[in-house]
Structure 1
Amino acid sequence: MTYEMTIVKLEGFTHQYGLDVVQHLNEVINRLSLCNHDLEQIGKGVNGYVSHAIHGTTEDDYTWFGRLYFNRRGARVAVLFPWHQDFDHPVTRMDRSINIYASEKMPEKDIEGLAEELGLQATLYRNIWEIC
């Protein structure tokens, strides 16, 4: 699968992580149909102190679908989720890749770990929701 990664600034964050860090999370989220309430619950599954926000824009004026904010190792980490409205794309309906930012540079393995946790929680959440 291919997802376009837009390198763009997010106010208050100094470091953006590349596509290699979020590729698996892109694939997991692309398979699910999530609302912002779902994103919030998935974030809480990773860490109960997550902050969730709807929309928000990056420096390129793209308005994101939803955002999760985590505190990790003294840094603030933002995970931005795109809209799923590109219905003509042959591989994914996601407008672009999920973007992850940190308020200071962190080891990629820490960010990859967060992305993996989010992917796992998204899968678990969706499986539980479908059972109910």
Structure 2
Amino acid sequence: MGHGEFVYEGLGVEAVNNCAFNTFVSDSSDAFYSDISFHCMDIFGCVGLRSKKFCIFNKEYSKEDYADLRAKIIDHMKKTGEWGQFFPVSVSPFHYNETAANYRYPLEKERAFENGYKWKDPDPKEYATQTYEIPDDVKEI
């Protein structure tokens, strides 16, 4: 694992500097709300980038345009209460009862819904009766 500093709310991040609210970002600096990006600088809301600079939602900007648009987005996020929060559970592709969290912090289905989590009911299993008679000897096949 690489050295990181000034990291806040990161999951699977390494060798990063001044980064927050990221998942699986490495060898990057000044990355915010990004995912699966490597060797980047000054990215915001990006996914799957390599060796990019001044990107917002995977679109590259000039340094000045990046700074202006990033400031506008952060202002909006502050007004809506989103700034400073990690990715919301509403964007998770997983159902709460299928995650490791459910083992450590078990929730009932109703409580999970109250907290905004998805829930997956078990698939119904309909077993048919056996219609084939298995022979007792391989010679009978």
Q: How does the TM-score come out when normalised to structure 2?
A: 0.24
Q: How does the TM-score come out when normalised to structure 1?
A: 0.25
Tell me which structure has the larger Cα radius of gyration: 2
Query: Hey, which of these two has a bigger chunk of helix by percent?
Result: 1
